[in-house]
Amino acid sequence: MRSPLARPRVIRRLTIAVCGLVACEAAAASLDLAFPPNLSKARRSSPVALDRNGAWLRALPVEGGRWRIRADLERTDPAFVRNLLKVEDARFYQHLGVDPVAAARAALSDLTRGRVVSGGSTISMQTARLLEPRRRTFLAKVLQALRAVQLEARLSKRQILSLYLTLAPYGGNVEGVRGAARAWFGHEPESLTLGEQALLIALPQSPEARRPDRRPKAAWAARHAVLEKLVRAGAVDRAAEADADAEALPRARQPFPALAWLTAGRLAREAPADQATVTTTLDANLQQRVETLARAAAAAQGRESSVAVLVIDVASRAVRAAVGSAGQDRPGGWEDMTRALRSPGSALKPFVYAIAFDEGLAAPDTKLSDAPRRFGDYQPEDFDRSFHGEVTAREALTNSLNVPAVEVLDKVGPDAFQARLEQGGVKLVRPRAGEKAAGLALALGGAGIRLTDLAALYASLADEGRMKPLAWTAQAAAMTAGLPGVRLVRAETAQEVIDILRETPPPAGRTPGVLTAQGPRIAYKTGTSYGFRDALAAGAGGGFVVVVWTGRADGGARGGLTGRDAAAPLLFDVFDAIDAPAEAPPPIAPHQAPEGLRRLDPSGQGPALIFPPDGASVETQSARGLVLAARGEALNWYVDGRPLAKDPLQGAPVWRPPGPGFYEIRVVDAEGRTARARVRVRSQ
């Protein structure tokens, strides 16, 4: 029999053991809190900005120019993930950071062969090593194991896997499976061939020694070794292995796409630290066309000129294209001019009249006087320094007369006008911060406004007078579509102003008769700031609003370039581009204009064919045809060597293809200089 003293001893020992265990756990918890794993490298990663259809726009590099792009398991081939775990960590979902079976097997293998053959590292341990790189020693391996346990305590298995696929190196300055799939295969890792999967599994272990562009033999051998492991694991059969072995290795890295450089970059920077993908409202096809047009316009207006363009879907307020500059290679090219404060010139006049109509102070046919007049110490004059006598409000707005606009603003009250715009979310900024009262110069561009706000104002005119914020992401667009908006003016007032703006004479040669009959009628207004620093055009038509700005990013003056001459033609080009047939954007850096658009010096590089560009694939109905566009003077058009008839009303070329097929379009100027495009026509 046990001594009566035995039970207290057992209880005392158990108590000591429990206390010791608690003390160890407390010490471990304290050490864990005092020395947490360093996740800063994971935070220094970038999401991918995609267009509305999932096309890649841009991702941001991180320190040292490295492409560390956040993994998105929702956009990663599940078969790749399964095969990765079979090769690297078969018990990933069972262990707590360290796999005792794999560790024991690795230790036995190393002892048997007398050297390090297998590390037995789990995905969690490899992630810990990528977060805190160290020399490969026994102590480093122990620290990795401890860090792996810490990661397992803090993160879910899915988060750890995502972290590994974000940090894993794939050769050169590419980290993460999304960047690797884009760099080596030219597409997202959503769908990968077996050969592509095997290469992506093999590369992180020796990324430089196995780079397929520099060491193809080593890359093939490493890929084959992974395939052999998958065969032994029963994941694939020999036939699939043979097919994967036969896949060609990539010979070179592909450049990362960079459409909507400024906008996509901004949206990527603003994304939360744990967001892998930003789905924007932009349309990559339209964005690419508008960027090409913007670069052409800037080149035609001089080396110092830049261009900004916004295209807004009125129904959802979704931004479909956003060009912040004419390119990073131009002065001020890194400045996003869609968000810069610029003078709108006369582009705010429609809203002066709209509020006057809405308040019952005037009507479209109200008579106004366009004659010299002083308003206190302010005496405006018309742009052409002439006066037109008695005119209607409709005529004054259509012809952008200054004195009548100031007279109407005087009736509305500049403070009331500014307050009405601010109620809709638009902020006007006066050049002198100390100036307390808004002045009558507001009617003529006397306050700064952002292009984004100007676009929102014109979208309100096209949407029955309702103001809503612009939507830059798919999530924001879904929310904006359900908002009632803020009433700027009544629906009938907005329609009256739109009808007047439709009467504005179009730029010379910009609206062929065929487009007037069947295309959207554009209601637009131009603006020119003091010193010709800013040339603007804003318009609505076909369910879209387009705003165009040209000028110098540094605010310098440009001699004689007005909104009508420098911005309105591009406005009409962009409206044409909205209806152009869609083409998948190539996975290359932007600003690679078609050959016909690369030289636009008006001093004489020959004609430049704008639409259709070389290599385009277009759809058309024979009744409507295609309106062809080129820059140059005294142009003659030919299709497959035959002269092309022109529209009798406007003199613009309209081509009605006889049927589907391939055609050569040629435009020749008076000096015999030629531009050509080879296009394919598809029937609708």
Q: Answer yes or no: 400 catalytic.
A: no
Beta bridge partners of 266: none
CA distance 478 to 475: 5
Q: At which residue do the structure tokens 């705010």 appear?
A: 348
Please give the distance of CA 290 from its chain centroid, rounded to a whole number: 12
Q: Which of 45, 88, 162, 395 is catalytic?
A: 88
CA distance 373 to 352: 19
User: Three-state DSSP class for 334?
Assistant: coil
Q: What size, in residues, is the chain?
A: 684
Evaluate the CA torsion angle 370, 373, 374, 379 in order and state its sign: positive
Beta bridge partners of 450: 341
With contact defined as beta carbons under 8 Å apart, do 262 and 275 qualify? no
Question: How far apart, in Å, are the Cα atoms of 84 and each of 5, 56, 78, 205?
Answer: 59, 25, 10, 12
C-alpha triplet 28, 33, 38: angle, nearest 5°: 115
Which residues touch 168 (CB under 8 Å, ≥6 apart)? 126, 130, 175, 176, 177, 180, 203, 204
Beta bridge partners of 526: 537
SS3 assignment for 102-171: HHHHHHHHHHHHCCCCCCCCCHHHHHHHHHCCCCCCHHHHHHHHHHHHHHHHHCCHHHHHHHHHHHCECC
Side-chain half-sphere CA neighbours of 396 within 13 A: 31
CA distance 615 to 583: 11
With contact defined as beta carbons under 8 Å apart, do 556 and 222 qualify? no
Question: How far apart, in Å, are the Cα atoms of 415 and each of 354, 418, 458?
Answer: 15, 5, 21
* CA-derived radius of gyration, the chain: 33
- For residue 11, which amino acid is it? I
User: Three-state DSSP class for 288?
Assistant: helix
Q: Which of 325, 346, 400, 460 is catalytic?
A: 346
Please give the distance of CA 362 from its chain centroid, rounded to a whole number: 42
Q: Answer yes or no: 196 catalytic.
A: no
With contact defined as beta carbons under 8 Å apart, do 199 and 245 qualify? no
With contact defined as beta carbons under 8 Å apart, do 227 and 244 qualify? yes
Residue 19 DSSP one-character state: H
Element (H, E) at 574: helix 568-578
Which residues touch 246 (CB under 8 Å, ≥6 apart)? 195
With contact defined as beta carbons under 8 Å apart, do 140 and 134 qualify? yes
- Nearest alpha-carbon partner for 525 in 553, 567, 581, 493: 567
CA distance 175 to 178: 8
User: Three-state DSSP class for 191?
Assistant: coil
Token pair of 245, please? 């072995």
With contact defined as beta carbons under 8 Å apart, do 52 and 260 qualify? no
Please give the distance of CA 399 from its chain centroid, rounded to a whole number: 36
Which residues touch 88 (CB under 8 Å, ≥6 apart)? 122, 123, 126, 201
With contact defined as beta carbons under 8 Å apart, do 337 and 325 qualify? yes
Token pair of 596, please? 């016909």
Burial (CB count within 10 angstroms: exposed 0-12, middle 13-18, buried 19+), residue 370: buried
User: Which residues are known to be catalytic?
Assistant: 88, 346
